[in-house]
Structure 1
Amino acid sequence: MPVHSNTSLTVLGLGDMGSALIRSWLTAGYAVTVWNRSARTVPKGATPTATAAAAVSANSLIVVCLLDDASVRATLGGIDLTGRDIVNLTTSTPAEARALSEWITARGGRFLDGGIMAVPSMIGVPDSGAYVFYSGSPEAHETHAAALSVPAAVTYVGADPGFAALYDIALLSGMWGMFAGAAHAFALIAKENIDPVEFAPLLVGYQQAMAAYAYGTAAQLAGGDYTEGVESNLSMMATTNGTLLRTAAEQGVSPELLTPFMALMNRRVAEGGGKESTTGVVDLLLR
Structure 2
Amino acid sequence: MATGTTPSSDRGVFTPGRAAITARHLRTDKWWLSPLVSAIALTIFVVYATWRAFANGDYYSAPYVSPLYSPCLASNCTDMNGGADWHIFGSWWGLSPALLVLVFPLGFRLTCYYYRKAYYRGFWLSPPACAVAEPHATYSGETRFPLILQNVHRYFFYLALVVAAILTYDVVLAFRDRDGNWGHAGLGTLVFVVNIALIWAYTLSCHSCRHIIGGKLRHFSAHPVRYRLWGWVGVLNGRHMLLAWSSLVSVGLADLYVYLVASGAFDDPRFF
TM-score tier after normalising by the smaller chain length: under 0.3
Higher relative contact order (CA closer than 8 Å, sequence separation 6+): 2
Q: Which has the higher helix share?
A: 2
Instruction: State TM-score, norm by structure 2.
Output: 0.27
TM-score with structure 1 length normalisation? 0.26
